[in-house]
A and B are shown apart, each in its own frame.
Chain A
């Protein structure tokens, strides 16, 4: 094979093209934006529909404006526990005889509360009393179980061809989602209405066992362990310091009554948004949605957390000694998603960590070869309230956290010192546009974007205008925000220092 030489020409053409690349604008998305149909039902539930009739399928997103941030001490993990319960059925689905089941569940609750009281007794539980209480609870649990049809909710959806039936709980939101063949819109509406109007929190105590296993599984991951310890150090007051998965003690103590109260407070129509994207005609769909989703009680919009994170006084640092590979994460406090500087943080994260030509990747991975991976995230955890901007590096074999940490600071300093060039900034903007395009290439992707923008930014249109906001970011903005953010006193550093003495020597 011969190697043809046309090097210089191609390089020049390429660089020229790059220089000429126009910054991204949202203009191209007007068509899509204009197709969105928005309606607030009389009960306050927000409906967003985007028709995309290419394939006969629809994706559904139900966004509850509640998450870990709304939890209280002693009851961490509740948002997520309820999320699990929302798959357990209703007064009609998942039960053989609801009247009898209800009575049996009441007895089960009574037995658990008695057991719980003994378990929590100070200075110590009475062992002699615990045993019979445990047995009584077990028996009550078994009694309630006989009325249960396990997983009937999921089973119906499986049978009807649902794809990706799932949900997730985060700091700011709890989101339920799946897709169906498009002739089954009414099925989704009926089921979703039923589960958020008449949910039955059956198998509650057993499901807590499952969640405790989920927690253990997560903690088998060393990065997860690091973050578990790191985040509460970075925050002193904000509820973002809490764990969405919950503390083991709290999970053990949670009662069905607490979960029911959580539902009654947060799963009301005014606190819910649905986004429906796919082969759907808004005209014919709306009456169906009104009929079913209109049944969800209106409620009142609940109050959010009050505590505000106070300014940090000095650098904080935590070290986790662990057999796994060395990692350094550096977090800086940043304002929330609605701050005018929010897009600047997106630009900063992209400059530092977006792709192979980003600054941290170029410097730490390609040039110095001290890191296996390095990058940045514009926000870690929640976005609704002031959060964290994060840079990180995973040390290459034989390299240290100290080298990587120093190299990260060098790059952060450079952002404060030198204005970013127009070419580099335009590149960020082009990439952000592509990232956005990638996020809207599926029904589910668009549905998520609509629901998130509506709730976090107050208007689904923000999903499109975010690109304009990024486009407006200047080199001066980047420098100004870098200067105000990347202060030693504003940062928390978390490290995994590899130590083979713990656990296996692997």
Chain B
């Protein structure tokens, strides 16, 4: 929004502020006025604090399942609405990295079924009202703000944005262009680089809590993805709607009920799979950036959830260590050494996943090592000896004295309640937290420091001009240089439009391949049981997965895999799919089911694909001669559920060398190459016993089959979904 940009630019240029980074919370420090007479202010006595008045909150649930929270506040003639809708970044389908932020953008800019986005802009701005949409990891939001007198004009439009957004194609195109433009400039801002890369170092580059969006990701997103996301997640029983401001609650409840009366939830609620966070290796990382005057340093480590029993002690720990003007890091790096303007850090907890510790500073290149060493020293020191009574007292008093600010605006109160509701926290969680903080002891802090803050597990990052550092970064460990070059968009794969000639040539070639693979076996194929082992490269090293897959034609799969984390079962039954790990059973998102279903075609040397060709259900399109992995080949493209897959055959057409297709990988959607080898004949069918998958020339997985059986009998129980696990 232009206004916001203007304000930011103005603030940046005009004012020079005292503190750096987030608003410092409370803090204490060393020192102490030993031999001094008491200060005059120490003699001040304070009257008891006025009672905290918690405004009356009206809670209601509409017949369609939408939860309401209403708070009256008549000070200003303004009404605000905010809805949280379950399903955010974490719920992005595979292959659709970056969908949710574009979704939120286009939800608003694209207008509604009855009003174009540009008309909405004019309409709202002529009455000084706003409707905005935003996204986060776990949810999207839809908010509105208006003068009281405009409620009746804005509310129907607000409801229509929720229920019937248009996702106009031209606004999606605009949002995509802007998003790509933003990608192209993302390395201009050093703070942005620091934020982004340090998240990736802590959570892993593929995690929804860290992954970045690339040109190709944006390119892949279409209007149908927005529509599908809306259809899946926007349903009244997944919405918490808060209203606060200048209204009568009963009246507002009635109006909201009317505005959303026609909206009903259909089918079961979508299941959102909480992402698994792979702990990352400790590391020392360097990014070269020559156009900055300072080195920007971040040290990070996985933290904990807000409801973790250790959190209250960790909050005090992180406050004492890095939380403000008198924290240890600030005092050491800024006050005592004068090395930096800002220095500090804290543990930012997550509501439903572990948050992270981040410690940061920025200093001139020639004091980089000195500042980093000082930072490490303080992190180590707090694990070696208990904090002082004085430090703990100040941290606690600061926290407890600040509690009144939890209630200093209606917006703050209602947003907190709504967030607690959303994550299933009790409404008085902040009060419980305050009580828990009150009980924290020095021993607790030492215990959590030793348990939760491991200096040897830190991921360190320094961004700047390495050649000017006072000492090389390698004094902290083996240095990884991170290349932040923005990956160029992949040139669009040009598959020429099929002609009758190329279709015939391609299909003929595949028929030849199918016959060579075993015509009779393919025709009679109903079931395949495949046993083998797959080696997967992960950020933590190689992992071997042994497993058995039962593939029942045309579209069912039951796969059991034993992994170092336990046995995982994945099942696809046509349109549906689920996976089970321990007692937990989760439905697979629609897109993942589609991806797995398509993968079935390629199993056992593309057996299913070739069978379909033999049966006249699938056509190939000849692309002519091509080189595949350094070998001459003939390329044929087939479309599986609309997605192109290119097969590379030996020049005689008798054997499949491998295939290429776009697929989801840890680094986002990429071209994946699959190479077949070790062909053997089993029950009349030629099957490659060895296969490997490569991304950008690097082998990511390799599989070795030990046994392939055709048409064995199987139990239908394999495809029965286990009962719902108990809700946590």
Contact = CB atoms under 8 A, between A and B. Distances in A.
A13 interface: yes
Nearest to A349: B6
B665 interface: no
A496 to B, nearest CB: 10
A375 B10 CA distance: 12
A104 B174 CA distance: 64
A376 B6 contact: yes
Contacts of B174: 365-366, 369
A79 to B, nearest CB: 9
Contacts of A220: 190, 291-294, 296, 362
Nearest to A379: B10
B669 to A, nearest CB: 21
Interface stretch (B177-185, B196-204, B534-542): B177-185
Nearest to B263: A1
Nearest to A394: B5
B340 interface: yes
Contacts of B153: 13-14, 17
Interface in B593-609: none
Interface stretch (B15-23, B278-286, B491-499): B15-23
Nearest to B294: A216
Interface in B615-635: none
Given A3-B113, A56-B52, A373 B293 contact: no
B250 interface: no
B583 to A, nearest CB: 35
Given A150-B31, A187-B46, A354-B2, A442 B41 contact: no
A372 B174 CA distance: 10
B363 interface: yes
Contacts of B109: 356
Nearest to B171: A366
Contacts of B402: 161-163, 181
Nearest to A17: B153
Contacts of A169: 15-16
B114 A397 contact: no
Contacts, number: 381
A394 B188 CA distance: 13
A170 B15 contact: yes
A437 interface: yes
B26 interface: yes
Interface string B395-406: 001101111110
Interface string A406-429: 000000000000000001101100
A87 B325 contact: yes
B53 interface: yes
A471 B16 CA distance: 33
A324 B188 contact: yes
A360 B5 CA distance: 13
A225 B262 CA distance: 54
Interface string B254-284: 0000000010000000000000000000000
B77 interface: yes
A19 to B, nearest CB: 8
A284 to B, nearest CB: 9
Interface in A64-101: 80, 83-84, 87, 92-93, 95-97
Contact of A166 (B18, B29, B127): B18
Interface in B21-38: 23-24, 26-36
B293 A84 contact: no
Among A434, A435, A502, residue most surrounded by chain B Cβ atoms (within 10 Å): A434
B16 A244 contact: yes
Interface residues of A, number: 138
B70 to A, nearest CB: 17
A403 interface: no
Among B5, B77, B400, B484, residue most surrounded by chain A Cβ atoms (within 10 Å): B5
Contacts of A210: 334, 338, 340-341
A227 interface: yes
B2 A159 contact: no
Contacts of A219: 293
Nearest to A377: B6
A194 B24 CA distance: 23
Interface in A1-20: 1, 3-11, 13-15, 17-19
16 contacts: A17-B150, A18-B126, A54-B53, A55-B409, A87-B18, A151-B31, A158-B325, A219-B293, A323-B291, A325-B184, A353-B3, A357-B125, A372-B178, A373-B5, A374-B2, A433-B147
Interface of B: 1-3, 5-6, 9-10, 12-20, 23-24, 26-36, 39-41, 44, 46-53, 75-78, 109, 113-115, 118-119, 121-130, 145, 147, 149-150, 153, 156-157, 160, 163-164, 174, 177-178, 180-182, 184-185, 187-190, 231, 262, 288-294, 296, 324-326, 330-331, 334-336, 338-342, 362-364, 393-394, 397-398, 400-405, 407-409, 411, 484-486
Given A54-B75, A170-B15, 8 more contacts: A8-B114, A161-B402, A181-B49, A354-B125, A357-B124, A430-B126, A442-B408, A443-B408
Interface of A: 1, 3-11, 13-15, 17-19, 21-22, 24, 28, 52-57, 80, 83-84, 87, 92-93, 95-97, 149-152, 154-156, 158-171, 179, 181-184, 186-187, 190-191, 194, 203, 206-207, 209-211, 213-214, 216-224, 227, 231, 244-245, 279, 322-325, 349, 353-358, 360-362, 365-366, 369, 372-377, 380-382, 392, 394, 396-397, 423-424, 426-427, 430-435, 437, 440-443, 502-506
Shortest beta-carbon contacts, A-B, top 3: A161-B401, A503-B291, A375-B2
